[in-house]
Structure 1
Amino acid sequence: MGAKGEETRARLVRATRALMEAQGYSGTGLNQVLAESGAPRGSLYFHFPAGKDQLVGQALAEAGREVGELIGSLSGSPAGMVRDLLDTLGDRMEQSGYTKGCPLATVALEVSASNEPLRRLCADAYADWQRALAELLVREGRDPAGADASAGTVLALLEGALLLARVQRSRTPLDRAARAAELLLA
């Protein structure tokens, strides 16, 4: 595939990511993805012959990798790393007018009981994030079992805070989560 084809494919995935995060799986139609991306209809089925689920799967996988890389890039104290992660995601949420939060959560909640391949993709991304958080904690001197348990708790805290912040249109839940992470990770 040439550079033009790769750019068209990337535009389709970017548009899908943005729309799915804000509107969910059912709220996002392929016509809307095409309009948002500026891609011709034929390109959609050329790049994603299996249709919407294949496109959404690619968008979720890319979003999952992006957050995993963000987690892996953090440094400092464990509590400081969690605060930095919450600040980064909070800035992103605020800049979007609270239409964005966790890039997986909107779709994950919607498809978890009805679409096994997409549910599995979300579960795998969350597991990768937990592993990345645990690796940061191990790097900072925690034992692996304790690090994994703490990472799971931090991930749950982070996801809940993002949901509450989005619903309340306020960073207050993120600030509270950061303070709770400080206590947990002290």
Structure 2
Amino acid sequence: MGQKGTETRDRLLDATQELLETGGYFGAGLNQVIASSGAPRGSLYFHFPGGKDQMVGASIRRAGQAISDSLHGLAESSGSAAEFAEGVLNQLGDRLEQSGWRKGCPVATVALETAATNDPLQQACSEVYASWEGEVRARLADHPDADDLAVTTLALIEGALLLARAHRSRDPLTRVARQVRALLS
């Protein structure tokens, strides 16, 4: 694929991710994606012959990889597991607040809306969460209960993001950061 094709595909995925994060799966219609991306309708079907679900799955995996890369960077720069978890909460909290409380987790809304009824999207969401869990587990490798702690930490982060978005406040993130520090220290 040439540079122009890659740029068009990226614009489609950027628009899809923006719409997914702010309006969920059902708020990311094909017409909205085309309008937001500025891409021609034919490009959508060229790059995603499987239609909306293929495009949404690709968008979820792409956003998930970006968060995974961020987690990896935080893991390398933090001194302890507790500092790592606090860094994740702060970074995601900054992202949420800067978006006007519209962008929490790039996967959660789609997972909640489609996991019970759409196997390909459930699989995409599961893959992303598993990769994040793996990043957290790698940072917690020194702990005897690393597997359980990784799931617990990820669940606390996800829950804190949801509550922060619902309350439009960083307070849930701050409270969870304190508890994660106690849990991981």
Q: TM-score range by the shorter chain?
A: over 0.9
Residue 183 of structure 1 corresponds to: 182
Residue 45 of structure 1 corresponds to: 45
What is the 5 A alignment of 1:52-131?
Answer: 52-74=52-74, 75-131=78-134
Residue 156 of structure 2 corresponds to: 157
Report the residue type matching 1:163 in the other structure: L
Question: Aligned partners of 1:80 and 1:69: how far apart in 2?
Answer: 17
Deviation at 1:171, TM superposition (A): 0.4
Question: Aligned partners of 2:88 and 2:169: how far apart in 1?
Answer: 16
Give the SS at the match of 2:101: coil
Question: Aligned partners of 2:37 and 2:79: how far apart in 1?
Answer: 38
Deviation at 1:116, TM superposition (A): 0.8
Residue 172 of structure 1 corresponds to: 171
Deviation at 1:122, TM superposition (A): 0.5
Question: Aligned partners of 2:158 and 2:131: how far apart in 1?
Answer: 14
Question: Aligned partners of 2:125 and 2:104: how far apart in 1?
Answer: 15
Deviation at 1:92, TM superposition (A): 0.7
Deviation at 1:22, TM superposition (A): 1.0
Deviation at 1:77, TM superposition (A): 1.1
Report the residue type matching 2:176 in the other structure: A
Question: Aligned partners of 1:9 and 1:134: how far apart in 2?
Answer: 32
After the TM superposition, which segments of 4 or more aligned residues of structure 1 sit over 2 Å from their partners?
A: none
Report the residue type matching 1:121 in the other structure: A
Deviation at 1:30, TM superposition (A): 0.7
Q: Which runs of 5+ in 1 are unaligned?
A: none
Give the SS at the match of 1:26: helix
Question: Aligned partners of 1:88 and 1:35: how far apart in 2?
Answer: 30
Give the SS at the match of 2:140: helix
Deviation at 1:142, TM superposition (A): 2.1
Q: Output one character per residue of 1:62-107: Cα deviation in whole Å (capped at 9) or x when no partner.
A: 0111111111112221111111111111111111101100010010
Q: TM-score, normalised by structure 1?
A: 0.95
Query: Across the two proteins, how many residue pairs are aligned to each other?
Result: 182
Question: Aligned partners of 1:120 and 1:50: how far apart in 2?
Answer: 15
Report the residue type matching 1:180 in the other structure: Q
Deviation at 1:166, TM superposition (A): 0.5
Deviation at 1:150, TM superposition (A): 0.6
Q: Output one character per residue of 1:26-52: Cα deviation in whole Å (capped at 9) or x when no partner.
A: 122111111111111111111111100
Percent identical across equivalent pairs?
Answer: 55
Question: Aligned partners of 1:142 and 1:157: how far apart in 2?
Answer: 18
Residue 142 of structure 1 corresponds to: 143
